[in-house]
Structure 1
Amino acid sequence: MTDRLGGDAERVSSPGEYRLHVRRLVALFAGLGVLEIGILSGPTVYFTEGVKPIAAAMLLAPIVVLAVVIAGVSAGAIYLRRCGRPRRDLLRRADRLLAGLLAALLGVYVAVACVLAATRLLPIAAPGDALARMHPMLGWYFVIAAAGAVVLTRRWRFIFVVALAPLLLMVNATAIGELQFVSVEDVMLDMATNLATIGALTWLLRLAETSDASGAQQRAQAVELAARQASTRAQHEANSFIHDHILSALIAVANGLPDRAALRDSARQALDSLSAETAVASPVATRTLLNDVAGRVGVMAGEIRTDVVLTREHEIPPEVAQAITEATLEAVRNSLRHAGSDDAPVTRRVTLTSDACGISIEVSDNGCGFDPAVAGRGRHGVSGSIIARMQDVGGRATVDSVPGEGACVTLRWRPNLDSADQQRPERDAAQSEAASWERSLSASMESVGARAIAAGLALVHFILLVYECAVHSYWHWPPAALSFIALLPPAVLLLKAWPDALLPRWVAQLTVVVIAAVNFLVLPQIITTGWPGYASWCTGAGSDLSRGLLMRGRPVYAWAGSAATTLATAYWVISTGRPLLMIFTYMLGHYFTLVSWHGVAHLSTRATTQIAATQRETARLQAQQHAHEEADRIMTSRMASVRQRVTPLLTQIADGKAPTPKLRSQAYLLEAELRDEIRAPFFTGTSIVTSAQAARRRGTEVILLDDSGDNTTIDDQVRTNAVNYVTKFLNVTQSNRVVIRLNPPRRPTLLTIVTDDTRYRLDRQGELIAESAGGQVN
């Protein structure tokens, strides 16, 4: 059970939530196990002749006290974990305390074992009639092995369990007064069983570590994706803001708008927009949003008819409210700028609707109309300020127009799914995670480690069988031998690789039948009248198969096998005249072991869904926070850059200064530069910007276009080659018009330069391919 999962997780210095939860569960059952075995072995310690109860109690008390504290701390930690949003600081302190307590338990146990190996403080008499005279240190071996599994590293936990065996053999021999084969039997069988337990826990821990690593990777990917998406949205929002509020003012100055009052108002509005807080801070009610948009439309042009239809209220996220507002106003601005005609007046109408389907806004006019496919090429107004802006917030925008027949821009946004629809994917994800965890646990039975441990257990039981037959522990030995042979097929089937690691039901049924049969066959053959000792090896072997059924995801059949063993025990006890209490004392240890295995496996599977849900929520919040931070950073940087460049010019115009040729030239160059940043982000911040400005001053119309897409990555060397070539070209060109276009990623060429009479192409390495006419840049 210790292979087939990556070993890197073992070296993670800080345990993740899945591993911590497994540790809490194991610690809880370890604490309870110490108490249970202490209660069972109490009569042995108290009634055995030669034992000093007070001295024994003082010696064993530290282990019992530590167990009580461990059980309490682990139960408290599990409770905190089950709370919706646990107090993380308190939970972290509890986990650190739990790790320290478990390590202390191991140390105290070893120290007490060394004392008892050297001194005969706990002499053990012959087995009694109803109670197993187990030595408490040997009984706690299983619990200590489980505790070691969650405290020690993978290598050391196995070494620890094996190293304890000779020490406990000495403890047992010292307690009895001599080394007997029964001491070897005790330690050998317990060590084999504990190695199986360690193997199962190791697989469970590695599965938990793999889940922790996967969860951390998914959270990191979610944060990275959110940052990229936020960066893209912020760039779109900044581009749309610059287009809607700044470029129009610069164009008016560059064109020398004769209406000086309108020119001043345009400059003031642009300056005000740069200094105003554009982001909405909190969710907005639908009524407030629609009335605010209608009011802003009325301020822009009083002759526009606005209709607000409200049949259903929604809570609008702030970024959605801002996108709807800005997209609507841009649609209205486009209509005011482009729909007019000298021949006939234009009627405009804005309809704002909120109903059960969400929000829809229509901006329509009966103006000159246009072809949306043609108008969108190389222009940002429709594609960026309206369509992309709505898409960035999960909405949709459509443009319907035909030349000569007016235009209609429709914005739609639907609220999130209702709670029932939202919970369904969560439930499906939770069920998928639980099923995946259960399949991984089941697959552990198919590992090389599991088969090796099973072979060891089979060998130990075979040695016990041979020894018990040799010392004549049975009335007839063939039933015992046949029972051992009968146990082998279900064991092999439990370890066999099955499709999807799903154990067939018939295998589980067969296992239960064999468990019942071997116990009914072997127990009545035992000659001894008191405690059967290891002559009843069949019960332990049946418990091993039941634990295998648990790991295979067949808990009902596992408990059915244990119930069948109980029935066989009851029949044997009653038919041989043994005390009825022996049914309870004989099966109690087996039941506790099965409960421990079932509890750890089941509760860890159950906790998987809650932990995964918590991690998804944590990832969502982290991604959301990181996205907001990234968006704020980009918007602040872009706005600061724009403000620094345009404020001196627009301030002069707003103060009433006439648009001199020098100011008009500055406005033209600034407008071209800002438009380049919107249309061609690839060139932003490179030497091409300066060369393009110089070319424009010489009278060359330079148009930069970037069609590579938001997610395209270009090698640094290729970028350098392309930038250097374009820069050289712009520095020497004398053409009237130059269009430089970064091509889409699927094109064979990286970049195209088109002038009045020549076309140049750069390949995907940034090198010149050919030119249609004219000369070559050297």
Structure 2
Amino acid sequence: MTTRGNDSAGMRITRLFARFIGSGYVFYLALMFRDITTQAAAMSPWWTWIAVPMVFGPPVVLGLASFRGDPTPMYRAAAATALLFVVAALLWPLAWDGTLLAADAWISTIPGLAGLAAALTWRPPWAVALLVAAVVPVQLINHYCRVPDRNGLFLPDLMFALSFCLIFVAAALMAMRTGRLLDRTRTAAHATAAAAAAAQSRSVQRARFNALIHDWVMSSLLAAARRTAREEVRQQAGLALVKLGESEPDDIEGYTTAMLIAHLRTAVADADDTLEVTVHTRDGARDVSFPSDPVRVLGAAVTEAIRNSVLHAGIDAMRRVDLTVEPSGIEIVVTDDGIGFDPAAVAPHRLGLSVSIVGRLRRLAGGTVDVRSRPGHGTTVRMSWRAR
């Protein structure tokens, strides 16, 4: 299967609440259907025909919209759910014919759900204000429209209803706030991990280049200074040039195809020095110069992909790396026949896959990544860059 961009934690929590609210309204509609039909006799017909769709229609849309990728319809349906409930409650006195009700008005049963819908789309002060606007009218309806023996003191009844509903609205607000905090913390952790990985990559390159200077360039100069035989000095210098061609300093601006291949082979060797890289060079790619950013990002990502395979694929897993170089792009594929995994089940805080591989390539202009794996069927990580 292929990894896909997932909702943030805050958005997942919001979608779950939207489905809970939509399901709650459907449940209450079935539960209160008898009361709705009975109490319709005490109301002008227009109110019931208008109020029922106003109260129960938007939350059904809310629940369905929570399954869409774009959250805008979901937020609009949540706002409509909250506001239209209040409108329906305010219209009640205009439609009531004066007949006292033997039970609570059906609309007074669910103001808390309207408050939950408000919590999905508005800031806490506005959500609480909507809850008050929903609870007060329906409590007034109950107090003045029920038979007298059903009534207690208005203020205690109102405060109980407000407190009861506020508990759930506050829990929803805190849950969504916690999701947003988790998203910010995860983003900061990803940025820190990416910065640390980039710094480590630069440090490794610098150390490798310094070692080459010491081991090959300096030894060549010393051989020349000691008046070593010219042929030996020439061979030593030739080897030094070859080694320098396999590495590069940090400030290099472009890579030839040979330098690109050397860099990616070195990146593979950093994780597994026994692993061979199969190179496919397309026509016209030999004389191309590639920018440094995609080469280094691909190098860091392929190192992490192989390291993940070594750690998780299993001790008997076989690996291969295929590099394809084209005039306008680079593709490197890491494949193993190990134990595999379910990419969708990988937790977002697992930085190896989400940051060091997927995150790197998705932040790179022209970069793409595709991770395919199934338990028991190995893993293929395909990383590529195309010039834009």
TM-score class, shorter-chain normalisation, is 0.5 to 0.7
Choose the corresponding residue for 2:356, options 589, 602, 623: 623
Query: SS state of the match for residue 119, structure 2?
Result: helix
Aligned residue number for residue 178 of structure 2:
207
Query: SS state of the match for residue 262, structure 2?
Result: coil
Structure 1 residues 172 and 625: CA distance shift in structure 2, 3 A: closer
Aligned residue number for residue 214 of structure 2:
243
* CA distance in structure 1 between the partners assigned to 2:361 and 2:274 by the alignment: 16
Query: SS state of the match for residue 616, structure 1?
Result: coil
* CA distance in structure 1 between the partners assigned to 2:95 and 2:162 by the alignment: 23
Aligned residue number for residue 126 of structure 1:
101
Checking the alignment, whether the CA contact within 8 Å between 1:120 and 1:174 is kept in structure 2 is no
Aligned residue number for residue 83 of structure 2:
107
Which amino acid in structure 1 is aligned with residue 107 of structure 2?
Answer: M
Choose the corresponding residue for 2:125, options 155, 158, 178: 155
Q: CA deviation at 1:280?
A: 5.7
Flag the structure with larger Rg.
Answer: 1
Is 1:62 the equivalent of 2:54? Answer: yes
Is 1:270 the equivalent of 2:3? Answer: no
Alignment deviations for residues 92-150 of structure 1 (CA, whole Å, 9 cap, x no partner): x1x33322221221122222222224x125876533xxxxx442321220211222233
* CA distance in structure 2 between the partners assigned to 1:245 and 1:174 by the alignment: 96
Is 1:221 the equivalent of 2:192? Answer: yes
Mapping for residues 473-552 of structure 1, pairs under 5 Å = none
Which amino acid in structure 1 is aligned with residue 119 of structure 2?
Answer: A
TM-score, scaled to structure 2: 0.60
Checking the alignment, whether the CA contact within 8 Å between 2:47 and 2:95 is kept in structure 1 is no
Structure 1 residues 622 and 109: CA distance shift in structure 2, 3 A: same
Aligned residue number for residue 289 of structure 2:
none
* CA distance in structure 2 between the partners assigned to 1:186 and 1:420 by the alignment: 64
Checking the alignment, whether the CA contact within 8 Å between 2:54 and 2:84 is kept in structure 1 is yes
Mapping for residues 126-145 of structure 1, pairs under 5 Å = 126-127=101-102, 133-145=103-115
Q: CA deviation at 1:220?
A: 2.5
Q: CA deviation at 1:625?
A: 7.0
Which amino acid in structure 2 is aligned with residue 279 of structure 1?
Answer: A
* CA distance in structure 2 between the partners assigned to 1:227 and 1:122 by the alignment: 74
Q: CA deviation at 1:174?
A: 6.5
Query: SS state of the match for residue 310, structure 2?
Result: coil
* CA distance in structure 1 between the partners assigned to 2:346 and 2:268 by the alignment: 23
Aligned residue pairs total 286
* CA distance in structure 2 between the partners assigned to 1:162 and 1:36 by the alignment: 23
Checking the alignment, whether the CA contact within 8 Å between 1:165 and 1:187 is kept in structure 2 is yes
Alignment deviations for residues 179-227 of structure 1 (CA, whole Å, 9 cap, x no partner): 9835836544322210222233333334333333332332233223222
- Give % identity: 17
* CA distance in structure 1 between the partners assigned to 2:132 and 2:117 by the alignment: 14
Is 1:38 the equivalent of 2:24? Answer: no
* CA distance in structure 2 between the partners assigned to 1:628 and 1:323 by the alignment: 25
Checking the alignment, whether the CA contact within 8 Å between 1:279 and 1:319 is kept in structure 2 is no
Which amino acid in structure 1 is aligned with residue 73 of structure 2?
Answer: L
Query: SS state of the match for residue 229, structure 2?
Result: coil
* CA distance in structure 1 between the partners assigned to 2:76 and 2:123 by the alignment: 15
TM-score, scaled to structure 1: 0.32
- Unmatched 5+ residue regions in structure 2? 1-6, 246-257, 277-302, 316-342, 363-388
Checking the alignment, whether the CA contact within 8 Å between 2:108 and 2:135 is kept in structure 1 is no
* CA distance in structure 1 between the partners assigned to 2:25 and 2:43 by the alignment: 20
Aligned residue number for residue 281 of structure 2:
none
Alignment deviations for residues 493-517 of structure 1 (CA, whole Å, 9 cap, x no partner): xxxxxxxxxxxxxxxxxxxxxxxxx
Which amino acid in structure 2 is aligned with residue 155 of structure 1?
Answer: P
Aligned residue number for residue 310 of structure 2:
416
Structure 1 residues 162 and 59: CA distance shift in structure 2, 3 A: closer
Checking the alignment, whether the CA contact within 8 Å between 2:212 and 2:244 is kept in structure 1 is no
Checking the alignment, whether the CA contact within 8 Å between 1:146 and 1:201 is kept in structure 2 is yes
Structure 1 residues 215 and 242: CA distance shift in structure 2, 3 A: same
Is 1:320 the equivalent of 2:285? Answer: no
* CA distance in structure 2 between the partners assigned to 1:104 and 1:162 by the alignment: 16
* CA distance in structure 1 between the partners assigned to 2:118 and 2:308 by the alignment: 55
* CA distance in structure 2 between the partners assigned to 1:46 and 1:53 by the alignment: 11
Checking the alignment, whether the CA contact within 8 Å between 2:54 and 2:88 is kept in structure 1 is no
Checking the alignment, whether the CA contact within 8 Å between 1:17 and 1:611 is kept in structure 2 is no
Mapping for residues 604-753 of structure 1, pairs under 5 Å = 613-617=346-350, 620-624=353-357
Checking the alignment, whether the CA contact within 8 Å between 2:119 and 2:173 is kept in structure 1 is yes
- Unmatched 5+ residue regions in structure 1? 1-15, 78-89, 128-132, 284-315, 326-392, 395-412, 422-609, 630-778
Is 1:231 the equivalent of 2:198? Answer: no
* CA distance in structure 1 between the partners assigned to 2:114 and 2:353 by the alignment: 40
Is 1:279 the equivalent of 2:12? Answer: no
Checking the alignment, whether the CA contact within 8 Å between 1:168 and 1:187 is kept in structure 2 is no
Aligned residue number for residue 21 of structure 1:
12
